[in-house]
Structure 1
Amino acid sequence: MQEKIKPILNGAAETMLQSFYARAQYSKNKRHKFYDAKAVELVEKIDYDFTVATNDSLMSYGVIARTLVFDELVKEFIDENPTCTVVNIACGLDTRFYRMDNGKITWYNLDLPETVEVRNQIFAESGRVSNIGISATDSAWAKEIKADGNILFIIEGLSMYLTREDNAQMLRIIRENFDNAYVLMECLSKRWVAKENVEKSIQKTGAKFIFGADSFDDIKDIARGFRSVKDDDITRGMSAIFPVLKLINWLPIAHKLSQKILIFEKV
């Protein structure tokens, strides 16, 4: 029997384990709207106590809802740009490449060195998938990306753990190093900043929610050189999980409280 991997992580880096587990558990549900085969297969290779994550339904539903919406948005981009490059910032143990791959895309996973070390132990990735162990705020990672044509940047599950200045630096790196850049950036609703205690599994890691944005207008000062394409959110992802929510999604409050996905491109 193969020895299990015991990851040494804490804070925001540790939250990747919660998301990975949530996707694996959801995929085992017969009513799943997506199936994360890699998460189901590989979650058993990790030696980690997922008890708190198991009991944190709020965190799990949020992860699933945003996965559904991100999958939709990423697929749309790849369908329109079949030979594009995708850079998955703060990738954690994300397996979206395996659901989105059309046999032509090039995919880079970017995260902290300690996170990528865990990822490399779990996944045997090569070819059109590369893993880069550098902080998203360190411009050195830009030199590792080889891209021609359109390039999609996915920023999922990260911005809320960074300061405003760090988020600005991350976007500055994209703006200064890449043309034809298109960005999908998840942001916590401003109403949830400093309220990480509502998600017990996140609170357990010691991670803090310190940044939020409700629209592109809220980040215009740190996203200079970009223009808004659309302000989106995960409400339709929640409705896919709980169809009854479609009855209240027309209410403005439903969108105000929801996690945002801000879509913008380099000018």
Structure 2
Amino acid sequence: MDGGLPAGKKIRVDMSGAPQTMLATLYAKALDADAENSLLRDTWARDAVSRIDYDWHRTSITARNQFGVTTRTVHFDAWARQFLAQHQRATVLHLGCGLDSRVFRLAPGPGVEWYDVDYPEVIDLREKLYPSREHYHQIPASVTSSDWLQAIAGDQPVLLIAEGLTMYLTEAEGIGLFRAVVEKFPCGELQFDAFNSLGIRSQKINTIVRRSGSTLHWAINGPDDIVSKVPGLRPLAAISVFDSESFRRGVSGGYRLIGKLMSLAPAVRMMAQYHRYAF
């Protein structure tokens, strides 16, 4: 890896709020990378963790619970690969990208213009950790700002990926963002995860959210919450995390049993969801 950080030198990180949660997700992927039965094999994450000076115990992530992050990432990698297999020429908007190495894991072809968008301090850190790549762009901005989207050409199919983002937005911010993307591009997909109302109300028991000092806002209880407010969208999938192939493949028997028991209550079953829409 040849990022913007001198060899052997670590960078000290001190963030709070939503940007801090990216450290937890990065650490989870790094732990998975070293596991014998690794799901993601994200050596980029492992190398990035080795170059950051941070007390990783603060994330509350361990080798035993990292699957909550990695199974989600595996799921969205799979959906993104499906889209890119059908669209050799496309624009990818990876929103709230954090320190995720998805562009390197998926290695899209030369017809894909990939944009990672996150807060300036996040992009600054990414530039120190990850190399440059042809057709790869990093945008230091809030995803809810309209300026960055206006600067992107809207002449290709678009894939919007928002993993671990929607719950940190207000409903007005999220709907406004989705509408702006649908109106700008000729066609494409929106792929994101969401919490329902119970998930938002339960945020105080979410260790990663609580320790970062973040606040969750937007509850999405089903596709109607999206298609009724974003003209032109049609739902392709809206599934419980417990029903995903990555959860069934990546979680041990004991945790699968817990998932089955939790799924008996509809509100709990749909507390965390994966959504996919086309237009």
- The question of a shared fold, defined as TM-score above 0.5 by the shorter chain, is answered with yes
User: What amino acid is aligned across from residue 72 of structure 1 in structure 2?
Assistant: A
Alpha-carbon separation, structure 1, partners of 2:271 and 2:191: 16
The structural deviation recorded for 1:3 is 2.4
- CA distances 1:26-80 after superposition (whole Å, capped 9, x unpaired): 1110101221011011111111111032556786332112111111111111111
Matched, 1:26 2:38: no
Tell me, yes or no, if the aligned pair for 1:163 and 1:210 is still in contact at 8 Å. yes
1:76 alignment partner in structure 2? 82
Q: Which runs of 5+ in 1 are unaligned?
A: none
Matched, 1:173 2:186: no
Q: What TM-score do the two structures reach when normalised by structure 2? A: 0.86
- CA distances 1:184-231 after superposition (whole Å, capped 9, x unpaired): 021013211132232323211101222221321123343233222221
Tell me, yes or no, if the aligned pair for 1:90 and 1:156 is still in contact at 8 Å. yes
1:248 partner SS: helix
The structural deviation recorded for 1:122 is 1.5
Matched, 1:89 2:101: no
- CA distances 1:83-125 after superposition (whole Å, capped 9, x unpaired): 3221101001111111211433321101111211121121122
Alpha-carbon separation, structure 2, partners of 1:249 and 1:107: 40
2:4 alignment partner in structure 1? none
2:234 alignment partner in structure 1? 227
Deviation larger for 105-114 or 16-25: 105-114
Tell me, yes or no, if the aligned pair for 2:241 and 2:247 is still in contact at 8 Å. yes
Matched, 1:98 2:104: yes
Alpha-carbon separation, structure 1, partners of 2:130 and 2:269: 37
Tell me, yes or no, if the aligned pair for 1:53 and 1:60 is still in contact at 8 Å. no
Matched, 1:241 2:241: no
Change (3 A) 1:37 1:56: closer
Change (3 A) 1:60 1:210: farther
Matched, 1:262 2:249: no
Change (3 A) 1:102 1:166: closer
Matched, 1:121 2:128: yes
1:108 alignment partner in structure 2? 115
Tell me, yes or no, if the aligned pair for 1:152 and 1:181 is still in contact at 8 Å. yes
Match of 1:61 among 56, 60, 67: 67
Runs of 4+ aligned residues of structure 1 deviating over 4 Å after TM superposition are 54-59, 249-252
Alpha-carbon separation, structure 1, partners of 2:164 and 2:154: 24
User: What amino acid is aligned across from residue 80 of structure 1 in structure 2?
Assistant: Q
Alpha-carbon separation, structure 2, partners of 1:67 and 1:59: 14
Matched, 1:7 2:13: yes
User: What amino acid is aligned across from residue 129 of structure 2 in structure 1?
Assistant: I
User: What amino acid is aligned across from residue 250 of structure 2 in structure 1?
Assistant: I
2:144 alignment partner in structure 1? 137
What does 1:158-169 correspond to in 2, within 5 Å?
158-169=165-176
User: What amino acid is aligned across from residue 41 of structure 2 in structure 1?
Assistant: Y
2:36 partner SS: coil
1:157 partner SS: coil
Match of 2:203 among 155, 174, 196: 196
Alpha-carbon separation, structure 2, partners of 1:64 and 1:75: 16
Alpha-carbon separation, structure 2, partners of 1:223 and 1:108: 22
User: What amino acid is aligned across from residue 102 of structure 2 in structure 1?
Assistant: R
Alpha-carbon separation, structure 2, partners of 1:56 and 1:29: 12
User: What amino acid is aligned across from residue 126 of structure 2 in structure 1?
Assistant: R
Tell me, yes or no, if the aligned pair for 1:6 and 1:47 is still in contact at 8 Å. yes
Change (3 A) 1:41 1:57: closer
Deviation larger for 35-44 or 170-179: 170-179
How many residue pairs were aligned? 266
User: What amino acid is aligned across from residue 71 of structure 2 in structure 1?
Assistant: A
Deviation larger for 107-116 or 216-225: 216-225
- RMSD over aligned CA atoms reads 2.4
The structural deviation recorded for 1:22 is 0.6
Change (3 A) 1:59 1:109: farther
| Percent identity (aligned) | 24
Alpha-carbon separation, structure 1, partners of 2:47 and 2:98: 16
User: What amino acid is aligned across from residue 51 of structure 1 in structure 2?
Assistant: H
